[in-house]
Structures are given as structure tokens and as C-alpha cells.
Structure 1
């Protein structure tokens, strides 16, 4: 069994090229295990104002294009952007956008004041400089435009993290920004907060291998400095399984995700 989680913390993020390569490799398997991603993206779409009709929108961190196509059904075709070329190759033939763009959320290859909506579901947690992401959203949005994003914050996968801590002292599991940091950065961005909240999502698995298999299929590999190299030894895996069993519930082994939902508006 390989070790399969990746850190996301300012100053501790893996190299962007490694992130892009990891998600590119996962493009073919991603949708088959993306239950949480579909749920979160749907909830984010439901948080958009009912009467909101953007003339031009951007799906930021589009991945396989699942929500690119959902946005197109609702608003007509827009733009889709991702840092992972493999994801874009998967998404392009399925449509939904007039252009699928390889690019970085911290340096959007778009002109000022050109979008009415920037939609981003479970992508910006991989950005080390979230202040830059907010600045780019402010720059690219038209006055009255909306930046709607869902991200992950501290406390995500705490069961897996705490179980590994009982096994060794190495870096195994995702680290994300505190929700309070999201609040601070959004408040200082110049964008008006229509909605900013932290919601719990809990998935259940029959065993630890089912969870780690899903993380691998999603492309969420461990790219942390200080991570263990190569395969994880049998004794350590048995230790992980034993430790995680302490969290077992009637539904199975829980995996908790702390999800940030935000709808921010650029003032007129």
C-alpha cells in the first residue's frame, strides 16, 4: 500500500508541477470516485443567487469538466481552466466551454474585468498564495461579478492524520488553512462576502484500503517534504489499520472533510 495524502499549507505546499502531474495521472479514474467533489460542487452552485445570469463565466480548477458542463447547462458555454494538462485533455472532448485553458489560479491568463462569475470547487486548497487567488479574482471580475469557491480547511481527514500519528512521526496527511485564515483573507480582498461558511462532510468506508484507494484515484498523493519514500511497510500499515479502527461507526470508518463555502461579490 502506498501513502496517499498531500499537504496543502502556505509555505508547505508541494511543487505545483508535482500537483499538476498527480492530477493529470488521475484524470481517467477521478470521476469514478468523486462523490464528495460532486456533492460539494452542487452545494456551491446552489449558493449562487437565484436570479444571477452571468454572460461570461470561468470554471477555475475545472478538473474533468463535470461542473463545466453543469454550468454550461445553466448559463450557456463559458471558460474552463486547470493547471493539470491531463485533466484538460479529458475534459475538452466532453464540452461545456468554448476554451479549455492551461493556467494557474494565482496568475490568471485573462484580461481585467472580463468575467461575471468565477466558479471554483475544491481546487484553491492547492494554492499556496490564496491572497493572490483573491487578487486575481478581483482583477478579472466585472463590477458586480461573483467569485464562488469551495475549499478545504483544517480538520479535514483528521481521523487518518491521528491514526498515522500513532504509527510514526512522518508527514502523511493533508494540512489545510484554518477557516479563520480564509475569513481574514476574504475580508481583506476588497470583495464583499455574500456567504462564507464552514460545513462538515463525513464519508464512510468499509476499511482503510477503500479510503486510500479513493485518495489515489483522485490524484491526492503524498508530495510532502519529509514524506516516507516508496511503499509503506506491512507493520506500519497494520498499525494504521488498528489505530483507525478506534474511529469505526455503525456506517463504517469515517473520513471527515471540513469544507469552506464562499460567495464573494466585487462591488459596483
Structure 2
């Protein structure tokens, strides 16, 4: 796949900014709807893919810190990044032992080869294909040799604005399962496990565990 070019176009950044504002202005609505979801089976699948006990995890698009808190029970160093100040503020109160950073997943402020596990649950949804490529490359860059990446995205075609009764609206971009898996392979990930079944929330989801081999 060709390298991403000019990813930060005004239209893309405008859609992302409006989506972030929606999170900032409706934090309590998102907590009420999503905070009690438990991805225990996915967490176990991910941690079981490692050859050693992980000491560090990066939660990309950490939201309210729900998953960061769960991982902190077994991983001492958990870092969460998000672009929503509102969600990060909530996360700091929910996952008190984790460390949170306001950052863009397309340019992670994390040293290369410094993280054992990267977790990305429903966090790529507001990026188009070029932004997704950049974000996945960054996730691969920060992983230590032998580290694992977990990604889960809703399956679909095209893009849409959604309101979901939570206040505000958010822009979503979708991949078909085969399209997303091919994209990850083409970037340089070896896919070790996949699931393409129904999600805990709405619709079908594409979920994978992968390791970076040679990121292009």
C-alpha cells in the first residue's frame, strides 16, 4: 500500500474536531452508556498472546479510562492517550493509577520500542484510511520486539455522521473486515488472531491481535 500523503486535510481535521467536541461536551452521557462494558475476554486473549508478563500498556484513544483501569490490575505501567480533554479528565478520576496524556494517535509522544502492549478499542473510528495507516504505524513503532497490538473497529462501508442520542454528533469511518486486515498486513503487521463477529455495542466488528514485523 502506498504511503499516506497529506493526511491532515482541513475537511478531515474539521470532522475530527467536531467529534472531539461532542465527547468534551457530553462526557457524562458516554460514561453512562459505555462505562460498564467489560472486554475481559479480549483482555485475556491479548495478554495470552505474549511470551512474557507485560510491564507496560498503551491505551490508544483511552476515553474515560475504563479499560486502563481494568488493565492496571495486572500491568503496573498503563498509559492512556486521547484527544478529548473532557474524557481524559474523567479517566484520571476513574483509573487513578494510570498515566494520561493529551495526544494525537497519529503522532504518539512515546519512545520507540518502549511498550509491551498496545490496546486500541474503538479508537480508530474517527480517522479515514490515511489517518488509520499513520496511527497503526505509530502503534507499531512504540511496541517492543515481541509486543502485541490489539485493535477493534466497527465493520462497514464508507462514512457517516452519528448522533446516537448522546448529544452532539461524531463522524465515523468504516472498513470491511477483509479490507482492514489487508491494510494491517500491508503496513507490516503479522496478524495472529482475528474475530469478525457482532460487537458488544452495535453491528459487526473487526478485531485483531498482531505483531509488527517490518513497518512500511
Q: Could you tell me the TM-score, scaled by structure 2's length?
A: 0.77
1:94/1:267 CA distance change after superposition, 3 Å = same
Post-superposition offset of 1:62: 0.7
Q: Deviations over 1:7-44 (max 9, x none)?
A: xxxx9855222121111122222121127x825x3342
1:71-220 mapped onto 2 (5 Å cutoff): 71-128=71-128, 129-154=131-156, 175-201=173-199
The match for 2:167 is none
Q: Deviations over 1:131-156 (max 9, x none)?
A: 11111011111111111111111069
Q: Do residues 262 (structure 1) and 208 (structure 2) align?
A: yes
Runs of 4+ in 1 over 6 A off after TM superposition: none
Tell me how large the CA RMSD over aligned residues is: 2.9
1:107/1:17 CA distance change after superposition, 3 Å = same
- Gapped runs of 5+ residues in structure 1? 1-10, 161-171, 204-255
The match for 1:25 is 25
Measured in 2, the distance between the counterparts of 1:202 and 1:76 equals 27
State the SS of the aligned residue for 2:119: strand
Preserved CA contact (<8 Å) 1:149 1:262: yes
Measured in 2, the distance between the counterparts of 1:266 and 1:153 equals 22
- Gapped runs of 5+ residues in structure 2? 1-8, 163-169
Measured in 2, the distance between the counterparts of 1:15 and 1:201 equals 24
Q: Which structure: greater helix fraction?
A: 1
Measured in 1, the distance between the counterparts of 2:78 and 2:24 equals 22
The match for 2:40 is 42
Q: How many residues align?
A: 192
Which protein has the larger Cα radius of gyration, Structure 1 or Structure 2? 1
1:227-266 mapped onto 2 (5 Å cutoff): 256-266=202-212
Measured in 2, the distance between the counterparts of 1:187 and 1:84 equals 29
1:192/1:97 CA distance change after superposition, 3 Å = farther
The match for 2:166 is none
State the SS of the aligned residue for 2:20: helix
Post-superposition offset of 1:49: 3.9
Post-superposition offset of 1:96: 4.5
Post-superposition offset of 1:46: 2.9
Q: Could you tell me the TM-score, scaled by structure 1's length?
A: 0.63
